[in-house]
Amino acid sequence: MEKNTTASVSKEKISLTINGTEQQLEVEVWTTLLDLLREHLQLTGTKKGCDQGQCGACTILLDGNRINSCLSLAVMHDGSEITTIEGLAQGDELHPVQQAFIDHDAFQCGYCTPGQICSTIGLIKEGKAKTVDDIRDLMSGNICRCGAYSNIVKVVQEALERSQQA
Amino acid sequence: MASEVIGKPKNRVDGRKKVTGQARYAAEFSVPDLTYGVVVNSAIARGTIKSIDASEALKLEGVLQVFTHENRTKLAYYDKSYQDMDAPPGSPFRPLYNNQVQFNMQPIALVVAETYELALYAAALVKVEYEQAPHETKFAAQRPYAYEPEEYKSTPPPEPWGSPEEALKNAAHTITEEYAHPSQHHNPIEMHASTVHWEGDGRITVYDKIQGALNSQKYVMGIFGLKEEEVRVLSPFVGGAFGSGLRPQYQLFMAVMAALELKRSVRVVLTRPQMFSFGHRPKTVQRLSLGASADGKLQAVIHEAYAETSRFEDYSEDVIIWPGVLYNCDNVKLSHKLVGLDVYTPLDMRAPGGTTGIFALECAIDELSYKVGMDPMEFRLKNYAEKDQIEDKPFSSKELRECYRQGAEKFGWKNRKQAPRSMREGHQLIGWGVANGAWEATQKPASAKAVLALNGQLTVSSATGDIGTGTYTIMSQIAAESLGLALDKVEFKLGDSSLPKAPLEGGSWTASSVGSAVKKVCNKLGEKLLELAQEIEGSPFKNVKIEEVVFEGGRMHLKNNSSTAIALTEILSRNKTESLQAEADSEPSDEQENYSRYSHSAVFVEVKVDEDLGTVKVTRVVSAIAGGRILNPKTARSQILGGIVWGIGMAMEEYSVMDNQYGRFMNHDLAEYHVPVNADVHDVEVIFVEEKDEIVNPIGAKGLGEIGIVSVAPAIANAIYHATGKRVRDLPITLDKLV
Amino acid sequence: MRPFTYTRAKDVAAAVTDIRANSEARFIAGGTNLLDLMKIDVMKPRHLVDITRLALDTIEETDEGGLRLGALVTNADTAYHEQVEKRYPLLSHAILAGATAQLRNKATDAGNLLQRTRCYYFYDTDTACNKREPGTGCSAISGYNRNHAILGHSEHCIATHPSDMAVGLAALDARILVTGPQGERMLPISDLHRLPGNTPEKDTNLGENEIITAIELPPQGFAQHFTYLKNRDRASYAFALVSVAAGLEIEGGVIREARIALGGVAHKPWRRPEAEAMLRGKKASRENFQPVADAYVQGAKGFEHNTFKIELARRSIVRALMTAAKIEE
């Protein structure tokens, strides 16, 4: 079969700061942030659970805000700062939210967990959750099929208390 | 021996990997020179593929191949080669085998390209023409043709006992009703994926999403004619499965075939819509006729199940055994028929059959209790099964009464008003419901290997899986306890077809089966350590028997004199041994066969139903579980919490909608197939009642993956009845059914 | 996803020029709906104009005393904006009833209004859908139609508009500011979305190369008496089966003004100004709300799986008005 030799999609140069390190990247314009992280940068901690913005497994912090990386074209975020699950621990010391997920057994299979953790950190920063019901609603963008919700809520409550003391 | 590790609420040993993103799942292994496959699925439910035109896709630079039935690799001929370890009787589906379409969204082509995005684009360019044939996906239309399969995958319906029809006729109170639930899809959050690493010498290493690496290995060997040493399957982490990984799914076939043909590494990840294109919990309609005496003694049970299957395999699950397991009744008739439809074969989904059958039975029992005029819990206790009437055997243990007692107390059941619609708060009608349930506590043959290294690190391994159940953790605990080591001195390996054999990770039998093998191999290693210690010159352990020593704190000492001790590492070093290893196979004991072995649950639920709008909130759940020995209260509790969430989904949300025009599940994404979200879950409590069982298996644990779900949906349905006076018999109970 | 070319617009004029210069071009901002639809091959733009760098990301006071929401302000920033929370709490509530925190952090206000229907068939290219492929037929009429319209549908399409925010804006009589090749224009939100008729492929009355630049909120915000009631199949992260945005202006127990918009029932947020007028000068009471609820669903026609919405809408309107009026029973 004769190949159409022109590339099917164009590439753009962008700069992203990922987990504190600035990177110059050349990305195809149709590549999502999620696929960029997972397939090109081997940062597979960010998960693909639906690729449609319907599960929250791909949640990352984009300029500090939690978003679904599956519904974001990498090319549109030139100059942004991205924090993924791989960027939360300080060396061997886990981020307190990571440690709390372990202590409260707030996961089972672990697949939604990075998204839940990033979402928790985003929620704390937003500062809009006042009650347990607020937490439940504001964490509803992260589906946990194993059903660890009540433990996740405990983690978030604890993190909220910690942030208020700080 | 006092437990140092077992029974303690230890954190998951794999927790750190999971919270840092270092746990790698099937689609996440980095292999060199990787290509990406995207599957094309059929648009029709039945018929013939007339043509597949892939020319537009193949023209693209970077598209390597489009595989179809016309250019696929040579495949095995006999059904047997396609039958995996969980295959029901019948003729398994063969991807890309020929031009026949047997169900909608059948995989019919694989596009392989250098990047994922390109493969996805190219897949959209593949044009398919069909010769459509009429399909039948309407359950009701095919129900009159329901049949008894030649061979049941599940327990075949037992012969009736007593005179059920007559007893029903003579009963003071009766009900006859039909209960239904729709097809449901597992929808683990990790989509099914396989990464096949082409090793360059004909061998492949496959990272697969599977509940048993050995099953994928067997499947691949059978179909592609490969030898055991040519295929290694790894699945160290599985992002949920709930049964969807019991059978190898078609992305495995596709990725392996493409890798073998292209001699390249290939990754195939299914999309979320494609997660609705294979096995699912079968739609079931159950007819129950129950009769009771005036004082509430259950006198007759007739339980008939009609369950969906495909046209090519006879899938069945244990739907109808539960009246014989849960209640005492002298007149019982049970039947289980299959309704063949043009769909993919159903597949075990969390507590297959139990979830289904116990839902119907427990709603029917509830209805009958109201007819009799008894408290629903009292009615159940009055008809408590002292033995299993299906197998006619005593229970190895059964603390269900204690579940009721503790659960009712925690819940405050004694404050319940019996009449429906008798409790309210403004617009909210309040209802309290109860249900009980059981799940088999099985032990299967399993093997394990243990290696103690000179640095004191113990590595134990078995080809089982951890789908979030906590296998890594509890096996490490069992090993640590058996040899008296700290938990961090133990590593458990699983999810690798090269490890000692283990059964599929499902059926709630992993803790008991693999746990027994781990215990046995560690004990064996202990014996070897003693033998080795005896060879040390001047050893104080000469002539000492294994019963006379204790392993504790990394040392072995005499039971009656703890100062006569030696560090395990010293045993090795003094013998100039780098490491010491043992292997063991464990099998269920003959004694088990004399008993019926089940875990039990009693679940209490409070709902609040908006009287005008029909919206239901499950405000409280108390789940009391008798599950034998609890190896780790923390991970065990999580299993039960998960079961509760699943029960909420089953009762109120989950529904794979079949469009009969297309013969296709239409709500094929997570926006429209609703699984519970955080806001759906309110106060939930788990109680483990103490239950000693020395028969069920050497560990005494019964497995907890499934007992947590079985009673939840009926307890919710019963609570909704109590709140509203409306008995909804077809799940899910959405607001339209209550308006 | 089909291949596309990509440009970043630096201002509104450039964006409009760029979209005119390219065939089958689309604006992209949050991308939370467009990218989803591109991945499943429902939308196939050949060119994307990235408008995220346009200076349309602020919320400002208008001369008449209302608020102007820049088209690119995110849903989250809008819902949590101090002035919106204070003066237009109905809008905050409507926005927060939709989607998830993650999606609201990315989705923009204009994008929210332009999201496509959640009809199962629209989303599945292996089925017939007049909205996706005009002339192929409507699978939903004879198929599964739980989330479909009961009002204003046509024989060609029974899809609903899925936005919650749009329902809130409809109740607030918001205005949409648009720039196109012919310059600027303003249209009431009731004219933004349209009924399907025999051209269901068109969701809105925007011209081909027009861009929404802002949403204007008039001064009346119903901050005292309002509610957004959303009925759905789970407690969060689900589209509305029936939702009601209600705003009342009450003086001394007498209703001066009433606004009611329904979501989940039609191809656009559903208003019936003549029914709202029935409440003017009346006492806020269940007896007076019921006839309005009946009038709102007059002529409603359901299908196999969504007829329940008619009664649910009726009850929801009454409940929403009762809540807005702070009447306890």
pLDDT at B3 over 90: no
* Positions in chain C whose pLDDT score sits under 70: none
Going by their DSSP bridges, the two strands B332-340 and B298-309 should be labelled as parallel
Please, which contacts does C132-137 make with residues 24 or more away whose CB atoms are closer than 8 Å?
C132/C42, C132/C201, C134/C199, C134/C200, C134/C201
Tokens representing residue B19 in the block: 């919270």
pLDDT of residue A5: 60
pLDDT of residue A3: 76
DSSP state of B69: T
pLDDT of residue A165: 86
Centre a 10 Å sphere on the Cβ of residue B542 and count the other Cβ atoms it contains: 10
pLDDT at B6 over 80: yes
Which residues in chain C touch residue B659, judged by CB atoms under 8 angstroms apart? 120, 127, 139, 143-144
Nearest Cα of chain B lies from the Cα of C312 at a distance, in angstroms, of 6
Chains that touch A (3 or more CB pairs under 8 A): B, C
Nearest Cα of chain C lies from the Cα of B488 at a distance, in angstroms, of 37
Which residues in chain C touch residue A128, judged by CB atoms under 8 angstroms apart? 80
- Burial of A19 (C-beta count, 10 Å sphere; 0-12/13-18/19+): middle
Task: Give phi and psi for C103, each to the nearest 5.
Answer: -70, -40
Going by their DSSP bridges, the two strands C254-263 and C242-251 should be labelled as antiparallel
The dotted CATH code for B164-184+280-442+593-737 is 3.30.365.10
Question: Could you tell me if C127 lies within 8 Å of chain B, comparing CB atoms?
Answer: yes
CA atoms within 13 A on the CB side of C146: 20
CA distance C81 to C87: 10
pLDDT at B1 over 70: no
Interchain contact, C4 vs A119, CB within 8 Å: no
Residues C219, C66 contacting (CB under 8 angstroms): yes
Q: What are the DSSP calls for B236-283, one per residue?
A: S--S--TTTTSS--HHHHHHHHHHHHHTSEEEEE--TGGGGSS--BPP
Buried b (16+ CB within 10 A) or exposed e, B635-673: bbbbbbbbbbbbbbbbbbbbbbbbbbbbbbbbbbbbbbb
CA distance B457 to B569: 9
E runs forming strands in A8-58: 11-18, 21-28
Closest Cβ opposite residue C234 in set B680, B736, B739: B680
Closest Cβ opposite residue A39 in set B60, B116, B684: B116
Question: Which amino acid would we find at residue C296?
Answer: Y
Nearest Cα of chain B lies from the Cα of C41 at a distance, in angstroms, of 7
Any domain includes A116: yes
pLDDT at B317 over 50: yes
The CATH number covering residue C8 comes to 3.30.43.10
The CATH number covering residue A142 comes to 1.10.150.120
The CATH number covering residue A29 comes to 3.10.20.30
Confidence of residue B589 (pLDDT cuts 50, 70, 90): very high
Mean of the per-residue pLDDT values for chain B?
97
Are B15-21+443-587 and B164-184+280-442+593-737 in the same CATH fold? yes
| Residues A67 and A103 occupy one common structural domain | no
- Annotated catalytic residues of B are 706
| Residues A113 and A82 occupy one common structural domain | no
| Residues A78 and A19 occupy one common structural domain | yes
Tokens representing residue C318 in the block: 């009454």
Residues C230, C97 contacting (CB under 8 angstroms): yes
Residues B150, B89 contacting (CB under 8 angstroms): yes
| Three-state secondary structure call for residue B457 | coil
Any domain includes C240: yes
Please, which contacts does A116-119 make with residues 24 or more away whose CB atoms are closer than 8 Å?
A116/A56, A116/A59, A116/A142, A116/A144, A116/A152, A117/A85, A117/A88, A117/B19, A118/A59, A118/A60, A118/A61, A118/A66, A118/A83, A118/A84, A118/A85, A119/A56, A119/A59, A119/A66, A119/C101, A119/C102
Per-residue pLDDT, averaged over B465-489, amounts to 97
Interchain contact, A8 vs C236, CB within 8 Å: no
Residue of B381, B329, B355, B328 whose CA lies nearest to B437: B355
CA distance A136 to C84: 23
Q: Could you tell me the CA-to-CA distances from B1 to B101, B479, B547, B549 in Å, in that order?
A: 60, 14, 12, 11
Give, rounded to a whole angstrom, the gap between the first and last alpha carbons of chain C.
53
Tokens representing residue B644 in the block: 């509760």
DSSP state of B125: H
Residues A23, A42 contacting (CB under 8 angstroms): no
Domain ranges of chain B: 15-21+443-587, 31-134+189-241+245-276, 164-184+280-442+593-737
Q: Could you tell me the CA-to-CA distances from B316 to B148, B310, B391, B498 in Å, in that order?
A: 10, 11, 19, 31
Residues C31, C50 contacting (CB under 8 angstroms): no
pLDDT of residue B476: 98
The CATH number covering residue C308 comes to 3.30.390.50
Q: What share of chain A is helix, strand, coil (3-state, %, to 5)?
A: 40, 20, 40
Which residues in chain C touch residue B427, judged by CB atoms under 8 angstroms apart? 319, 329
Element (H, E) at C244: strand C242-251
Residues A39, B193 contacting (CB under 8 angstroms): no
Going by their DSSP bridges, the two strands B47-53 and B100-101 should be labelled as antiparallel
Any domain includes A127: yes
CA distance B120 to B523: 53
Q: Which residue of A has its CA nearest to C34?
A: A71
Instruction: Please list the residues that pair with B552 across neighbouring strands.
Output: B555
Interchain contact, B116 vs A52, CB within 8 Å: no
Instruction: Count up the domains in chain C and report the number.
Output: 2
ipTM: 0.98
CA distance B387 to B385: 5
Q: Could you tell me the CA-to-CA distances from B64 to B32, B370, C1, C300 in Å, in that order?
A: 16, 66, 18, 54
| Residues A101 and A83 occupy one common structural domain | no
Structural domain boundaries enclosing C16: 1-53
E runs forming strands in B158-250: 173-181, 193-198, 204-208, 231-234
- Domain B15-21+443-587 class in CATH: alpha beta
| Residues A161 and A126 occupy one common structural domain | yes
Last residue of one domain, picked from the residues A33, A60, A87: A87
| Residues A82 and A16 occupy one common structural domain | yes
Confidence of residue B388 (pLDDT cuts 50, 70, 90): very high
What is the CATH T-level fold of the domain B31-134+189-241+245-276, as seen in this structure?
Aldehyde Oxidoreductase; domain 3 (3.90.1170)
Residue of B158, B466, B483 whose CA lies nearest to B333: B158
Any domain includes A3: no
| Residues A49 and A113 occupy one common structural domain | no
Task: Give phi and psi for C194, each to the nearest 5.
Answer: -135, 170
CB neighbour list of residue B609: distance below 8 Å, 6 or more residues apart: B428, B429, B430, B431, B615, B616, B617, B720, B723, B724, B738
pLDDT of residue A1: 62
Give, rounded to a whole angstrom, the gap between the first and last alpha carbons of chain B.
59
| Local confidence pLDDT in tens for the 166 residues of chain A | 677 765 679 999 999 999 999 999 999 999 999 999 999 999 999 999 999 999 999 999 999 999 999 999 999 999 999 999 999 999 999 999 999 999 999 999 999 999 999 999 999 999 999 999 999 999 999 999 999 999 999 999 999 999 988 7
Interchain contact, C2 vs B124, CB within 8 Å: yes
Q: Chain C neighbours among B 337-376 (CB < 8 Å)?
A: none
pLDDT of residue A8: 79
For B519-563, what is each residue's pLDDT tens digit? 999 999 999 999 999 999 999 999 999 999 999 999 999 999 999
Residue of C88, C61, C94 whose CA lies nearest to C75: C94
Residues B186, B292 contacting (CB under 8 angstroms): no
Nearest Cα of chain A lies from the Cα of B71 at a distance, in angstroms, of 15
Q: Could you tell me the CA-to-CA distances from B318 to B157, B265, B339, B357, B696 in Å, in that order?
A: 9, 41, 16, 8, 20
CA atoms within 13 A on the CB side of B622: 19
Residues B506, B442 contacting (CB under 8 angstroms): no
Q: What share of chain C is helix, strand, coil (3-state, %, to 5)?
A: 30, 20, 50
Any domain includes A5: no
Structural domain boundaries enclosing A108: 96-165
Residues C229, C315 contacting (CB under 8 angstroms): no
pLDDT at B394 over 80: yes
Any domain includes A2: no
Tokens representing residue C287 in the block: 């007896």
Instruction: Count up the domains in chain A and report the number.
Output: 2
Which residues in chain C touch residue A8, judged by CB atoms under 8 angstroms apart? 3
pLDDT of residue C234: 98
| Residues A122 and A73 occupy one common structural domain | no
Per-residue pLDDT, averaged over B287-315, amounts to 98
For B411-446, what is each residue's pLDDT tens digit? 999 999 999 999 999 999 999 999 999 999 999 999
Place of tokens 């399957």: B233
pLDDT of residue C319: 98
